[in-house]
Structures are given as C-alpha cells and as structure tokens.
Amino acid sequence: MKKLKRVFTYLFLSVAAIVSIFPFLWMLVSMTNKSVDVTAGRLIPGTHFIENLKNLLDQTQIGIALWNSFVIAIITTVLTLLIGSLAGYGFEIFRSKGKDIVFNILVLSMMIPFAAIMIPLYRLFGRISADAPLIGLDTLAAAFLPTIITAFFIFFFRQNTKMFARELVEAGRIDGLSEWGIFFRIYMPTMKTTYAAAAIIAFMNSWNNYLWPLVVLQSPNKQTIPLLISNLGAGYTPDYGVIMTAIVIATLPTALVFFLMQRHFVAGMMGSVKG
C-alpha cells in the first residue's frame, strides 16, 4: 500500500514535470526546424537553426528590440533599487509617526491595478510630449519612468532593513560619516544579497513588461522584445522556426538569471512576504 502510494507520487510529479518542461523543449527543438516541420509536429532537433536566426535578423528588428529592452531593463533596475532602498532605509532607520503614516499611504498604492491608471498616465505623457520630447510618448524614458518607483520595492527594502544591524549606523555616526555616507558606504555593501534579490525581480518585471510599453511605444524602432514577439505571433503567415528562435532569445536572459542566481531568486520572492 505504502509502495503503491510512492509509485503514484512519482508518477504524478513526473507528469507535472513533463508538462512544465515540455513547452521549453518544444521551443528549443523548433528553433532548429523549418516552419513546415514545426507545424507537422516534428519533435527532434533539425539543422535549420542558422537559417532561422538569419531570417529573424533579416525580417525583424530583433537587434534594436533587444537593445531597447536591455536599456530599459538596466536603467529601470538601477533606479528602482536606488530609489526603493533609499526610501526603505529612510522609513525604517529614521522612523517617526509622520513617516509611518506616509508609508501606509504609499503601500496602499500596491492595490491600484495598472489598468486603472493606464489612461491618465498615457494622457500625462501625451501632454508633456510637446514640451519635453525626450520623455514624451514613444520614448524609452516614457516606457520606464512610471515603473521605477513602486511601493513594492519600498516595502521590500524596509522589511529587509529590519535585519540590518543598527549598531552599524551608530558606528558610522561616531566615525563622523554623514547620513548619506552611512547609507552608501555601510548599508549598501552589507545588504548585497537584498540588492541582488531585488535586482532580479526588477529586471524580470521590466524585461517582461508588455501592456505599458504596448501603450506608449508606437514606432517600430522603439519596440521591446515582448512587443516584437507579440507582433510576430499575431502575424497571418507565421514562420514558426523564426518565432521560436525569437522566443528562445527573449527567454534566455531571464532563464540565465534564474539558473545562475537561484538562491537570490527565491530569496527575492520570499522577501516580499517576510515580516
């Protein structure tokens, strides 16, 4: 009876694992096959990869899209971490009644669904387009500006700051460091793991963001990777081999981040619930 249960457990988990992995294997295999073979359901690797990659580079602006996505993701990650950690640190270390009230109000913004503010944001960027063309509609800046300051990261850093030894702040003050010096020279280096975890979340969110870039980025040379893939996928005569190559390229950075930094990755997810 016990043995039977064991067998059933392994069977169940194996099916779940296969279902989870299969789409990945399929896209890797399809990347090396001709479009007709993909439609015919071919499940063994082919020799068409170079051809697919060449077509992808010729027919789409994947290079530009990759560049745009990287620029947006890197700027977003750096600014998100900087601004979020400053605030998380500020709320926890310089705690006061007034700041606690402000904190609770900011946290409420986590409940606001993006769909609810999308239209006013779009109109806001539309209005400033004429005066400030560098951050108006259809600019990379417009795609990341509303995403860099979020209550989630303030909350995240505040939770993690609770574990930061306050004696280090006192020691810094005695050594004559300014409050900013303490933050940049003591807090930041000691909280490396927290920053790593936050960086992973911020990078992935930005890399995969779809709706807001879809709304603000209109010209083809401003496209990000998700927009490019969405357009390819919606085409009437899709070249499956080419699309699969694009999807693999799009998934590569996040998959790499996951496999190289698995520990931080999970820490990042958990950091959002602690406390």
Partner 1 sequence: MSQASSPTHQRTFTQRLRKNYIGWLFIILSVLGISLFYFYPMVQAFLLSLQSGMGSTLEYVGFDNYVRLFNDPTFITALTNTILYLLVQVPLMIVLALVFSVLLNDPTLKFKGFFRTAIFLPAVTSLVAYAVIFKYLFGNDGLVNDFLLSMNIISSPIAWLSDPFWAKITIILAITWRWTGYNMIFYLSALQNVDKSMYEAAKIDGASAMQQFFFITIPLLKPIILFTSIVSTIGTLQLFDEVMNITSGGPGNSTMTISMYIYNLSFEYTPDFGYAATVSYVVLILVVILSFIQFRVAGDRD
- By CB under 8 A, the residues from 58 to 97 that bind partner 1 are 83-84, 86-87, 89-91, 93-96
Q: Which of 11, 163, 165, 255 binds partner 1 (CB under 8 A)?
A: 255
Q: Which two tokens stand for residue 154?
A: 């303030």
CB of 192 to partner 1, least distance (A): 20
**Tokens for 150?**
């979020």
Using alpha carbons, select from 194, 236, 216 the residue that is nearest to residue 144: 216
Shortest distance, position 57 Cβ to partner 1, whole Å: 18
Burial of 101 (0-12, 13-18, 19+ CB in 10 A): exposed
Restricting to residues 203-242, name those near partner 1 by CB under 8 A. Answer: 204, 207-208, 210-211, 214-215, 225-226, 229-230, 232-234, 240
Piece of 46-54, 56-64, 109-117, 128-136 that binds partner 1 (CB under 8 A)? 109-117
Among 4, 47, 113, 237, binds partner 1 (CB under 8 A): 113
- Stretch of 19-27, 44-52, 60-68, 134-142 lying at the interface with partner 1 (CB under 8 A): 19-27
- CA dist 150 to 43, 110, 153, 177, Å? 43, 8, 6, 29
Candidates 37-45, 53-61, 134-142, 160-168; binding stretch for partner 1 (CB under 8 A): 37-45
User: Which residue is listed with tokens 């503010």?
Assistant: 117
Window contacting partner 1 (CB under 8 A); options: 54-62, 70-78, 131-139, 252-260: 252-260
**Span near partner 1 by CB under 8 A; candidates 46-54, 132-140, 160-168, 254-262:** 254-262
User: Concatenated DSSP letters for 45-105?
Assistant: --S-HHHHHHHHHHHS-HHHHHHHHHHHHHHHHHHHHHHHHHHHHHHHHT--HHHHHHHHH
Please report, for the chain, how many H helices and E strands are present, in that order.
16, 0
Taking each helix axis as running N to C, give the angle between helix 49-59 and helix 62-93, from 0 to 180 degrees, rounded to the nearest 10: 80
> Using H for helix, E for strand and C for coil, what is the string for 250-271?
HHHHHHHHHHHCHHHHHHHHHH
Question: Applying CB under 8 A, does 7 fall inside the site for partner 1?
Answer: no
**Cα(247)–Cα(228) distance, rounded to whole angstroms?**
10
Query: First and final CA of the chain: distance in angstroms?
Result: 42
Among 179, 181, 188, 193, binds partner 1 (CB under 8 A): 179
Nearest approach in angstroms of CB 75 to partner 1 is: 14
Binding string, 121-160, against partner 1, x = CB under 8 A?
xxxx--------------------xx-xxxx--x------
- Among 111, 167, 174, 237, which residue interacts with partner 1 (rule: CB under 8 A)? 111
The least CB distance from residue 139 to partner 1, in Å, is: 16
* Binds partner 1 by CB under 8 A, chosen from 243, 245, 264, 271: 243
Q: Least Å distance between CB 208 and partner 1?
A: 4
How far is it, in rounded angstroms, from Cα 155 to Cα 161? 10
